[in-house]
Structure formats: C-alpha cells, structure tokens
Amino acid sequence: MNSRKLAQQSLVAFLLAAACSSPTGNGSDPGLDPWIDERTFQVTYGSQDDGHAGVVSILAETAEGGSWLLCTGVLVGPRAVLTAAHCLNDDFATPLRVAFGASAQQPTMTRRVIARLVHPDYEVEPLSDHDLAVLAIERDVPTSIAPFTYGLPVADTLVRLVGFGANESSDSSIGRKRTGTARIDEVGTTRFRVAAAPSLTCFHDSGAPALSEQGEVETLVGITTSGRNDCAGFSRFMRADVYWDSFILPSISLANSLPVPPAEPIAPRPMGGCQMRRSGVGAPSRTSAALLGVTLLQLRRIRRSRR
C-alpha cells in the first residue's frame, strides 16, 4: 500500500466521523481535479437571508430532546426535501426534523422526517457520484412555500448559494441562513463546479442549493456535495437536471403517497404538587385550596388526639 493511498484512507476515516463531511475526490468527471483536503461542508462572504422559504435546515434529534444542525436541504415537493446523501452516512437511524425559517435554532415551523430515500447507486465512499437523497416529511407544507423545480447549469454564469453552514472555515456560528453568489466554471456529466464570486459553501452547507434566475423565478441547478477544507477555491454540486426524472421526481411521488402519521402528542402541563400553577394574582387554585383544607383538618384532629 503506497503512502498516498494510506493517507487517503486515513482521511476518509477522519472525515466520515464528522457530520456532513466527505473526503478526497475521485475525479470521475473530466476536468474536475481531485483534492486531498476536499470535504463536504454557511455561505462564505454571504449576507443573512430571511427569504428563500424553501431552503431548510435539517436537524438531528438527540435522546435528551435537543437537536443539532446536520445539513441544509431544499424543498422539491409538498412533502419532499432534497439534500446530499452523505449527510445520512453516520445518522441513518437518528430521528431527523426539517426546520423552516431563517434560523435553525428558532424555526418558524418544523416537520418530522418519516422516510429517507437515498439514490440507489450512491455508495459511502469519497466523493461518490449520485450523492443525493430525498427526505419525506410527515405532511404537506403550506402552499405559501413553493417547491423548487430544476434548471440547467451553464458555464460562466452566476448562481445563488443559500445555506445554514459556517461563514468561514474557522467560524463556529452556524445555523443562520445566508446567501451569496458564485460562478459556474466547469460542468461535468453529473456534477458541476463553482468558483467564488465572491461566495462559496462551507461546513454544514452540504445539501444547499445552487439557484439560477430564470426570469422572475429561481430554479434549482445543483446540490452542494463538497469543497475544500478552507472553504475557498471552489465548491462542487450534483446536477439537479440529470437526476430529476430518474430519481428526484419518483421520490417526490413516493413521499406524497406515504400515510400521514398521527400528530405528535402535546406534552401535558405539569399539574399538582410543587409545580402547580396559581390562578389569579397570588390566589391558590381550587385544587391547592382543597388540599390545604384537608391538611389543616388532619392537623386539628392530631392535636385533639394528643390532649
């Protein structure tokens, strides 16, 4: 085993242990050079974005009831969110939730993920082709949030990037939606590459869309899959148009056909004991007043028995 191969395998092991990461390139598309320090990853040199309602954060839920940002996604159907397949490599059994709004920490609406539809030819390996997955969510989103449809990537044109990841490689303030522009510099058979103009994707932007303006409408031309460790130089995207009819559209139909699960139970408000709430201003509730009366009566009986 030569030193280059050993270094690549070591890097794979390290990057797969991190959320939303993908190691070295395989250069399957002509003109797309592999990078040893390439990994999947908030949009660099971007601005905060309160729009693009169909661009969402994907949260992994913990057993303690918390959550953390896994990746970015984009709504492609009433119950379907497209993202990068590698986001699910280490978290396939973890409960996921799709969060809408400009902040992953304070979403305006969430939907549980009830099924994960990974491209059948995707393999868990460095910069695998077919790096796409559709997350089926529990029920339709409001009609005010329009799903994206696909467009074609054209070399030497600007695209808009939208994501929830880091603003730079050393930035830990993730979870706020940002947007910026990049320029497509190479188009391959299944992927394309963008250069900074001035923005690129960064850590936790995996699954983030590249959008192209078609008149007054923005179309989805690609999904972020990887970029360099320093969040500079370039970012890579899977082409939406290549996979739309063969994978994305059938996955949307399947998501729409899934049974709607029961609504989540609402946790009951604590009642009784020390956690009992008071009604009125400083006045005890009827239940607490009754308990107090019973207690006083018992104390009076004890005192009489001691006499």
Residue 231 contacts residue 168 (beta carbons within 8 Å): yes
Higher pLDDT residue, 181 or 290?
181
Report the predicted TM-score, pTM, of the whole model to 2 decimal places: 0.72
Give the CATH number of the domain where residue 154 resides. 2.40.10.10
Q: Contacts for 5-14 with beta carbons within 8 Å, 24 or more apart?
A: 7/36, 8/36, 8/126, 11/36, 12/125, 12/126
* Sign of the CA dihedral running 213, 218, 221, 226: positive
For residue 103, what pLDDT is reported? 92
For residue 41, what pLDDT is reported? 39
| CA atoms of 146 and 129, how far apart (whole Å) | 28
For residue 109, what pLDDT is reported? 96
Residue 289 located in a structural domain: no
Based on the structure, what is the number of domains in the chain?
A: 1
For residue 173, what pLDDT is reported? 61
Greatest mean pLDDT among 138-152, 195-209, 256-270 lies in 138-152
Residue 106 has a CB neighbour count (10 Å cut-off) of: 10
Residue 265 located in a structural domain: no
What is the average pLDDT across 140-159? 97
Residue 205 located in a structural domain: yes
Residue 111 located in a structural domain: yes
Residue 251 located in a structural domain: yes
In three state form, how does the secondary structure of 130-190 look? CCCEEEEECCCCCCCCCCCCECCCCCCCEEEEEECCCCCCCCCCCCECEEEEEEEEEECCC
Residue 306 located in a structural domain: no
Question: Domain containing 8: what range?
Answer: 3-24+32-257
Residue 272 located in a structural domain: no
pLDDT tens, residue by residue, 89-108: 887 788 999 999 999 999 99
Higher pLDDT residue, 109 or 302?
109
Whole-number Cα distances in Å, 255 to 55, 60, 68, 98, 140: 18, 20, 24, 14, 10
Residue 131 located in a structural domain: yes
pLDDT tens, residue by residue, 59-76: 999 888 889 999 999 999
